[in-house]
Amino acid sequence: MAQTDITIDRHKTAIRRAGFSLPVNCLLRDALIGQDMTFFDYGCGLGQDLELLSEKEITCIGWDPVHRPKTSHTPADVVNLGYVINVIENQAERAEALRAAWSLANTLLVVSAQLDNDASGRNQASYADGYLTLRNTFQRYFTQSELRAYIDDTLGAESIPAAPGVFYVFKNEERKQRYLVGRFRRKAAIPQQRISEILFEQSRDILDPLMEALTQLGRVPEPDEFSLTPQIVERLGSVKRAFAIVRRVTDEAPWEEIAAKRREDLLVYLALSRFGRRPPFAKLPISTQRDIKAFLGSYARACKLADALLFSVADATLIDQACRGATIGQLVDNGLLVHRDALDSLEPLLRTYEGCARALIGEIDAADVIKLHRFSGKVSYLLYRDYETEEKPALRARIKVCLRDLSIGFFEYGDRIEEARLETKVGLG
């Protein structure tokens, strides 16, 4: 059929659709159009894309030979030639439309056309290099590769596929490369605040007091040990669940350290309780019973571990190793000097070692420094003159406890000041 035999009704190809056209959707998806850019729709048809873009406050204008013929061809950052070249039956006019749209694009031209799969199953007559539809419109169906080659050959530029039947042609090489880099940059999800963190922040009024109780006890408090238990249960389900939230948000390590210290305290207490008459489990304070169950499992196991700790005090090798490995105090040739306020920071073996001496002599409140003898099984309590203010305080008295024969020696230094001065004061660290 000769092309001159028929007048094509091109205006009938303009349609209304639900939402944006595919090429404009691609531009929005790829952030290639926005409020800081201008948009020109070359062959805008009924102008539905323009209406929807205006609602997004994007500056846009369009021209169509039938529906908006009075609009001038206006240069813009982005120009859309949407499903135009496929409805032009004249090949020269088709190429001219593509070149005209390209000339208006300051940054980007997006070109789209019908693909050959869109014609499948349709009874259409061949016409020129395409088909004549039942509505007397023309359609030139391309394959994806044909459309790309046509755009590239006509414009002398490289097009980039954006979607089936949709291609981008960039005017600026840097802008094209920025787009391509963005295509292969994986989108990272914004880290979301964990549910436990949200619950923690929402419940700080009851979780802060709970953390204070946990710090004191080293374990989950029983209802009679924590007055806010009903509020915890009502809001978070249980105190154990509340503690699990706290551990996830604040990190588990500090709570494990607190529990370990409480366990050590219990063992030292039970070890030294052998110096009197170790009470039966039922006679212990209820809080101590709970501690033993929480940290040591059973009273029998706790007593066994405590006895092993106590008997280790008699091993000079273990005492020496503990003194040399201590992270506090001052190691001297035959002992470890420890400031009185740092005793609780010693490891359980040395705490028990010193505790045995105290079990014999009681508290020496005036002692400034305690010397744990590394080899002789002795503990000395050293009392100085003006310990806190003097750089090299003078020793005024010494009390020595010998654990091997359970003897106690008292030594007064009187006027022998110079020979009994402390060369280096022992601090808390």
What CATH number does residue 15 fall under? 3.40.50
**Residue 301 within any structural domain of the chain:** no
pLDDT for 330 equals 93
Q: Kindly give the residue spans of alpha helices, DSSP state H, lying in 313-376.
A: 316-325, 348-361
Section 403-409 average pLDDT: 90
Residue finishing a domain among 153, 183, 213 = 183
d(CA 259, CA 314): 27
Residue finishing a domain among 296, 331, 346 = 296
**Residue 426 within any structural domain of the chain:** no
Count of CB atoms situated within 10 Å of the CB of 228? 19
Based on the fold, state whether residues 244 and 364 are members of the same structural domain: no
To the nearest whole number, what is the mean pLDDT of the chain?
88
Find the distance separating the first CA and the last CA of the chain, reported in whole Å: 102
More confident residue, 420 or 114: 114
Based on the fold, state whether residues 242 and 177 are members of the same structural domain: no
Based on the fold, state whether residues 146 and 248 are members of the same structural domain: no
Asked if 69 and 37 touch (Cβ cutoff 8 Å), the reply is no
pLDDT for 429 equals 54
- Whether the per-residue pLDDT at 3 is higher than 50: the answer is no
pLDDT for 188 equals 54
Asked if 218 and 262 touch (Cβ cutoff 8 Å), the reply is yes
Based on the fold, state whether residues 21 and 129 are members of the same structural domain: yes
E strands, 190-268, where? none
Report the domain count for the chain.
3
**Residue 428 within any structural domain of the chain:** no
Based on the fold, state whether residues 292 and 320 are members of the same structural domain: no
DSSP for 404-421, written as a single string: TTTEEEEEE-TT--GGGB
> For residue 168, what pLDDT band results from cuts at 50, 70 and 90?
very high
- Whether the per-residue pLDDT at 17 is higher than 90: the answer is no
Residue finishing a domain among 183, 214, 239 = 183
Based on the fold, state whether residues 99 and 38 are members of the same structural domain: yes
**Residue 179 within any structural domain of the chain:** yes
**Residue 189 within any structural domain of the chain:** no
Q: Which two tokens stand for residue 233?
A: 């249960």
- Whether the per-residue pLDDT at 391 is higher than 90: the answer is no
Q: Which two tokens stand for residue 169?
A: 């042609």
Based on the fold, state whether residues 371 and 400 are members of the same structural domain: yes
pLDDT for 390 equals 84
Give residue 26's domain range: 3-183
Based on the fold, state whether residues 215 and 149 are members of the same structural domain: no
Q: How far is CA 248 from CA 193, 197, 239, 261, in A?
A: 12, 8, 14, 21
**Residue 207 within any structural domain of the chain:** yes
Residues 113-148: tens digit of each pLDDT? 988 865 554 667 888 888 888 778 888 989 888 999
> For residue 191, what pLDDT band results from cuts at 50, 70 and 90?
low
Q: What's the length of the chain?
A: 429
Based on the fold, state whether residues 331 and 289 are members of the same structural domain: no
Based on the fold, state whether residues 175 and 250 are members of the same structural domain: no
**Burial (CB count within 10 angstroms: exposed 0-12, middle 13-18, buried 19+), residue 146:** middle
Based on the fold, state whether residues 243 and 320 are members of the same structural domain: no
Based on the fold, state whether residues 158 and 73 are members of the same structural domain: yes
